[in-house]
Amino acid sequence: MTAIPASMQKLIEEVKTHFADQPKLGNMFENCFVNTYETTLKPHEDGKTFVITGDIPAMWLRDSAAQVRPYLILAEEDEHFAKLIEGVVRKQFEYIVHDPYANAFNETGNGKGHQGDVTDMTDWIWERKYEIDSLCFPVQLAYLLWKSTGSTAHFDNDFKTGVEKIINLFRVEQYHESKSPYRFVRHEGRHNDTLSRDGKGSLVKEGIGMTWSGFRPSDDACTYGYLVPSNMFAVVILRYLEEIATTVLNDSTLAEDARVLANEIDNSIQAHAVIPYEGYESVYAYEVDGFGQFNFMDDANVPSLLAAPYLGYCNADDKTYQNTRQFLLSHGNPTYYEGSVAKGIGSPHTPPQYIWHISLAMQGLTSTSTEERNDLLETFQRTDGDTNLMHEGFNVNDPAQFTRPWFSWANSMFSEFLLSCMGKEVKK
């Protein structure tokens, strides 16, 4: 077992003291907060850090960033955690430079993973489902590491090459139909593990400003290719890049490219994805195609519409966001479920009547209501399946029925929510 650093142990004791009247919360936090550190982080001799997602031995760009995000609070004072997270960022950008269309990678060029998929695989790639958020999360982590520690060491050549590839890819995918080289077909598995039209995905209208995504952060195929919460996230990280390019890299070209693209995508979201719906003056659609078709729902995975303030796209009191939130936390949202034990948002990725601990944590992190946050703390205590750990989805009537007993992202999201209840948040 890995020795627990003193800074981590100190924070655990602070949480237990704060929630002394709810000792189970303290025990759950200790298990979840330590779990990622003990079981998923693999520092390499080159200073980079490989991160497995939990019960799958590959490194997802998205999950790995979210898994270590709460440790940024420790990194503010502890050089060990600062270096560990810097290693994650360096590893992520090594992978992005290798192939910005891939979402998950092997620790070595061992040829493991979905090598039978019809796409441009290499031995380093575990899976090559193109998801906008897979490129956003590493930029976000790099930015937050800078804000938490003041360090700029990770803004190296791989970082600069990687972000140039990201901006170029986002530009290409504004014109997916005519310019994109990306195709993806999987012959086995579920229907939403593959893209239609020989791997091109459903038809979208080109040139409307938003950038196309093949898959959602759940790794399920998009119904319509303009995935709104992921485009929101792209706006945020492009503005981060503008700040990094201006303040750290002294690269006016990169700063301008990021600024212009962020504005194009943002204007497109407001023009094409803010829609009157079910009595609301305006709500955000989850997906659109540019031709007038919309998908009104949310998915438990982040980025989600529910997560828009958490991502930094809007304020929690924004009127359109509040309308959207009210809709998402109602039966109008096809992924919202209520049962005898819990209520919340699930995902088409898991069975009906299953909601996710990630979405419950996000509901808490974006709530402006103390009562709602306290209710969610009670829900977490009822729904761990007596494991003191978080899971992917669980049955709203029987939390002992759950998917993924070892899911590091969910553990980290719960930890971050609990810390936020104490006023401890990641610096932005």
The number of beta carbons lying within 10 Å of the beta carbon of residue 159 is: 25
Q: Which pLDDT score is estimated for 206?
A: 98
Q: At what angle do helices 79-98 and 6-18 cross, to 10 degrees?
A: 100
Contact 386, 400 (CB under 8 A): yes
Q: Which pLDDT score is estimated for 95?
A: 98
Query: Distance (Å, rounded) from C-alpha 424 to C-alpha 361?
Result: 15
Q: Is the peptide bond before 23 cis (omega within 30 degrees of 0)?
A: no
Name the residue among 393, 210, 182 with its Cα closest to residue 294. Answer: 210
Contact 82, 141 (CB under 8 A): no
Q: Which pLDDT score is estimated for 282?
A: 97
Query: What tens-digit pLDDT sequence spans the chain (428 residues)?
Result: 468 999 999 999 999 999 999 999 999 999 999 999 999 999 999 999 999 988 889 999 999 999 999 999 999 999 999 999 999 999 999 999 999 999 999 999 999 999 999 999 999 999 999 999 999 999 999 999 999 999 999 999 999 999 999 999 999 999 999 999 999 999 998 899 999 999 999 999 999 999 999 999 999 999 999 999 999 999 999 999 999 999 999 999 999 999 999 999 999 999 999 999 989 999 999 999 999 999 999 999 999 999 999 999 999 999 999 999 999 999 999 999 999 999 999 999 999 999 999 999 999 999 999 999 999 999 999 999 999 999 999 999 999 999 999 899 999 999 999 999 999 999 99
Domains delineated in the chain? 106-334 (1.50.10.10)
Q: Which pLDDT score is estimated for 55?
A: 83
Cite the DSSP H helix spans in 154-292.
Answer: 157-172, 176-179, 196-199, 228-244, 252-272
Q: Which tokens sit at 129?
A: 């489902």
**pTM for this prediction:** 0.98
Q: Which pLDDT score is estimated for 383?
A: 98
Contact 368, 318 (CB under 8 A): no
Q: Which pLDDT score is estimated for 54?
A: 81
Query: Distance (Å, rounded) from C-alpha 165 to C-alpha 150?
Result: 25
Instruction: Name the helix (H) or strand (E) containing 288.
Output: strand 287-288
Give the alpha-carbon dihedral of 214, 217, 220, 226, to 10 degrees.
Answer: -40
Query: CA dist 12 to 26, 270, 417, 418, Å?
Result: 8, 42, 14, 11
Per-residue pLDDT of 256-287, as tens digits, reads 999 999 999 999 999 999 999 989 999 999 99
Q: Which pLDDT score is estimated for 2?
A: 63
Q: Which pLDDT score is estimated for 15?
A: 98
